[in-house]
Amino acid sequence: MHILVTNDDGVQYPGLLALAKAMRLLGKVTVLAPDRNWSASGHVKTMERPLRVKETCLADGTSALCSDGAPSDCVALALLGLTDKVDLVVSGINPNANIGHDVTYSGTVTAAMEAVIAGVPGIAFSLDSHENNLPPDFEPAIPYAQHIAMQVLEKGLPKGVLLSVNIPALPAPEIKGYLITRQGQRVYRDALVERKDPRNRPYYWIGGEAPTGIIEQDTDFGALNQGYVSISPLQMDMTACQALDDLKNWNLDRI
Ligand code: MN
């Protein structure tokens, strides 16, 4: 089995090394990740400039590839033939949860989406740490990432489906197990911050408090709140099927 490991926090981020270590027990691992942080960059396809790929070393001395492209570019490069044929793409481990509406902002999740578009199973792994400055402890997440990836390698995933896995940032004995969940609802608390630059011109920052969420049974946010690993199957087909009939009743005959 050949597993591609990427992330959106940059190739040297400790969460990537934790995930690469977890995957090495399951097969051959290639790391191809961005050379910088692309968190919340969404699903990117770089088309207006060339992409470069360089060899680098992870903190444990193993070799890796990095690119100046986005996470989804890294996945595309590998799956289009830069590396040997890939059987599974894993992305992460992101230091913060990716739940509810986060998934289309997230470079971690959109890397897994890119895999699914190419017909390869994709899994995004995120840790529900609330730490914003220091990297959290990724060690307790490793066996969970390993076990889920093993299940995907054994059983596959339905066509067009990726997994978004969120792991509580708890010591190993306090993680209660797994729950299969649906996307919950994030509550964003974004606020516009306006400041002045040294030349007295205004600039803007999307600031505010960290997002929270609505605690509901069977959701990603609900599972994390109870100390469970959340496994959400997501689909690339975002059609709102329940809206199709409503829209068919519109009067669209005349211009
Ligand atoms: Mn990130």
Backbone angles phi, psi at 227, to 5 degrees: 90, 20
CATH architecture of 2-185+214-248: 3-Layer(aba) Sandwich (3.40)
What separation in Å is there between the alpha carbon of 13 and the centre of ligand 1?
9
Average pLDDT, the chain: 96
Q: Which amino acid is at 77?
A: L
* pLDDT > 90: percent of the chain: 94
Distance CA 74, CA 133 (A): 25
What separation in Å is there between the alpha carbon of 39 and the centre of ligand 1?
4
Please list all protein residues whose beta carbon sits less than 5 angstroms from ligand 1, which is an ion. 8-9, 39, 94
Distance CA 104, CA 42 (A): 6
What separation in Å is there between the alpha carbon of 216 and the centre of ligand 1?
25
255 pLDDT higher than 90: no
- Bridge pairing between strands 229-235 and 202-213: unpaired
What separation in Å is there between the alpha carbon of 241 and the centre of ligand 1?
31
What separation in Å is there between the alpha carbon of 103 and the centre of ligand 1?
11
**What is the per-residue pLDDT across 97-141, written as a single tens digit (0 to 9) for each?**
999 999 999 999 999 999 999 999 999 999 999 987 889 999 999
What separation in Å is there between the alpha carbon of 254 and the centre of ligand 1?
47
C-alpha 190: how far from its chain's center?
Answer: 21
Tell me the DSSP string of 121-186.
-EEEEEEE---SSS----GGGHHHHHHHHHHHHHH---TTEEEEEEEE-S-GGG---EEE-B---E
HSE at residue 185, side-chain half, CA atoms within 13 A, is 5
Q: Can you give the pTM of this predicted structure?
A: 0.96
Helix (H), strand (E) at residue 104: helix 102-105
Distance CA 173, CA 75 (A): 34
Domain boundaries, the chain: 2-185+214-248
What separation in Å is there between the alpha carbon of 82 and the centre of ligand 1?
24
Phi and psi based region of residue 207 (left: phi greater than 0; alpha: psi -120 to 50; beta: remaining): beta
Q: Once rounded to an integer, what is the mean pLDDT over residues 17-26? A: 97
**What is the per-residue pLDDT across 39-64, written as a single tens digit (0 to 9) for each?**
999 999 999 999 999 999 999 999 99
